[in-house]
């Protein structure tokens, strides 16, 4: 996968500036957002090849925003890297359930960042998402779904089911 544009989402201006410099030094163009809502709004008009998401933010935390990004067909192929100082097994599991592709612990180290970027670059390029109107005119013939689309739908469903199973298992352990 080619990484040329990154979106850094963090409520701390210091972290946004520091992270932007680190990524620019690695050849990425970087946009920033100070909140989850700002990130969602940004993605409506701009694209990104990778998103670095803070976990602890006011209003909507990084887990919620990551779930929204991964759940939207227009942005679901963008890998989201959860970035937080809270590095517990529960935080890592929750990030995975929400659809995060990777996890970085703050303060972000150069080697850890390079490792995540290398891993993301080794992934196959995401398929191009083609949008169609929500409703077709009366009498319009429905287009058949191709094999690749069926595989993608099945993979998304499997991902959601697996995430739910992990979440349920984690909750049952907490309740014991």
* Fold of the domain spanning 5-122: Rossmann fold (3.40.50)
Whether this model's pTM surpasses 0.85 = no
Does residue 107 have a cis peptide bond before it, meaning omega lies within 30 degrees of 0? yes
Q: At what angle do helices 13-24 and 110-122 cross, to 10 degrees?
A: 60
Provide φ and ψ at 104, rounded to 5°. Answer: -120, 140
Please give the pLDDT value at position 170. Answer: 63
Domain ranges of the chain: 5-122, 145-176
- Residue matched to tokens 């067909």: 73
Q: In whole angstroms, what is the distance from residue 103 CA to residue 109 CA?
A: 12
Read off the tokens for 33.
């957002």
**Which helix (H) or strand (E) covers residue 120, if one does?**
helix 110-122
pLDDT tens track, the chain, 176 positions: 899 999 999 999 999 999 999 999 999 999 999 999 999 999 999 999 999 999 888 888 999 999 999 999 999 999 999 999 888 888 899 999 999 999 999 999 999 999 999 999 998 876 554 444 444 444 444 455 666 667 777 677 777 777 677 666 666 555 55
Question: What Rg, from alpha-carbon coordinates, does the chain have?
Answer: 18
- Report the number of secondary-structure helices (H) and strands (E) in the chain: 6, 5
């Amino acid at each position: 996968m080619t990484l040329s544009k990154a979106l850094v989402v963090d409520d701390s201006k210091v972290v946004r500036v520091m992270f932007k410099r680190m990524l620019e030094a690695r050849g990425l163009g970087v946009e920033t957002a100070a909140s989850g809502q700002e990130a969602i709004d940004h993605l409506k008009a701009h694209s990104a090849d990778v998103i670095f998401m803070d976990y602890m933010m006011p209003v909507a935390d990084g887990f919620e925003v990551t779930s929204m990004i991964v759940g939207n067909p227009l942005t679901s192929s963008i890998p989201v890297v959860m970035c937080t100082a809270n590095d517990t097994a529960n935080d890592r599991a929750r990030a995975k359930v929400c659809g995060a592709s990777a996890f970085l612990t703050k303060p972000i180290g150069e080697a850890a960042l390079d490792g995540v970027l290398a891993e993301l670059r080794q992934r196959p390029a995401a398929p191009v998402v083609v949008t169609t109107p929500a409703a077709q005119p009366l009498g319009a013939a429905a287009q058949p779904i191709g094999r690749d689309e069926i595989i993608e739908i099945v993979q998304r469903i499997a991902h959601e089911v697996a995430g739910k199973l992990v979440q349920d298992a984690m909750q049952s352990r907490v309740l014991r």
